Structure 1
Amino acid sequence: MQIVILSVGKLKEKYWREAFAEYAKRLSGYVRVQAEEVADEPAPDNASVGEIEAILRAEADRLERHLKPRDGIVVLDRQGKMYSSEAWSQQFTKLESESYGRLVFVLGGSYGIHDTILRQAAVRWSFGPLTLPHQFARIVLLEQIYRGIRIARNEPYHK
């Protein structure tokens, strides 16, 4: 199975890139992980509703260029479903059993993700009501994918 982490914005700091590489390495025995990044739109302070819509639309256009018809899309979304690690493991196993060419996990920019992308999602996943920096959310995402796979295989890691 191929997994794509499709994100608005870049992992700039070395320590985030190293953490991403570490989890990608851990996952390499189970799945192929690929990172794809698109540029974020400048987000002015006190943006109007129209400005926010334009920002979301521009970022969605960039994201859509990376999506393929047979992709299983998982969007990280504050309004999405919250999973325990065990429930996520079951959801991931279900996604793996579908006929997707690859699973694409989409992380939006500072204003979230445009409805055109949300409507394509097979799963909308929330890490809960807290706000995480986007770079950290990517690492948490990879860790939870790894944990979910290990749980599904009854391998030691989850405690």
Structure 2
Amino acid sequence: MKIILCSIGKGNDDALKSSIEDFSKRISHYYPVEWKIIPTNKIKSGLSEKELKLKESALILQNLKKEDYLVALDARGSMVSSADMASWIASRANESVKQLLFLIGGAYGLDESIIRRANFVWSLSPLTFPHQLVRLILAEQIYRACTIVKNEKYHHA
């Protein structure tokens, strides 16, 4: 199974970049991993929130394959513990999912069409975080899940 971490917006902030890369490298010891950043700077000008979300959803759908297992990160999603996420990821691997794609939306979140397309909608927290920080939290939580599955030292329950 390949893990794809996808985010709408600009590239990684320099202050967080090395930490995101570090956790991504750690994940690669368990699964192939790739980041896809979908820039939207060319479509933002003069659009309403709804129009922007529709344009972003079109870009997202262009980057999705029919067989991709899509996890949409959204405040309306399910909150799960790190241990439960570990079991959940292991189950996707056991189901022979080829690509597990985690999606972080743009500044206004994800369009309803993306939420409907998602196989799972996950909320990291009821709090609101900057998108750059969500990238780091996501990478760390996926790494944590991998170590839990392998019963390694990183996670302390």
CA contact (8 A) 1:39 1:59 kept: no
CA–CA distance in 2 between the matches of 1:112 and 1:35?
19
Superposed displacement of residue 148, structure 1:
0.6
Provide structure 2 residue ranges, at least 5 long, that are not aligned to the other structure. Answer: none
**Number of matched pairs:** 154
Provide structure 1 residue ranges, at least 5 long, that are not aligned to the other structure. Answer: none
Q: CA RMSD in A?
A: 1.6
Q: Verify: 1:7 aligned to 2:7, yes or no.
A: yes
Q: Verify: 1:42 aligned to 2:41, yes or no.
A: no
Name 1:128's counterpart in structure 2.
125
Return closer, same or farther for 1:6/1:12 CA change in 2, 3 Å cut-off: closer
The two structures have a TM-score, normalised by structure 1, of 0.90
The two structures have a TM-score, normalised by structure 2, of 0.91
Name 1:103's counterpart in structure 2.
100
- 2:136 is aligned with what amino acid? I
- SS state at 2:63 partner: coil
- SS state at 1:119 partner: helix
Name 1:114's counterpart in structure 2.
111
Q: Verify: 1:77 aligned to 2:52, yes or no.
A: no
Over the matched positions of the two proteins, sequence identity in percent amounts to 34
CA–CA distance in 2 between the matches of 1:58 and 1:108?
12
Equivalent residue in structure 1 for 2:61, among 64, 67, 71: 64
- 1:75 is aligned with what amino acid? A
CA contact (8 A) 1:82 1:126 kept: yes
- SS state at 1:74 partner: strand
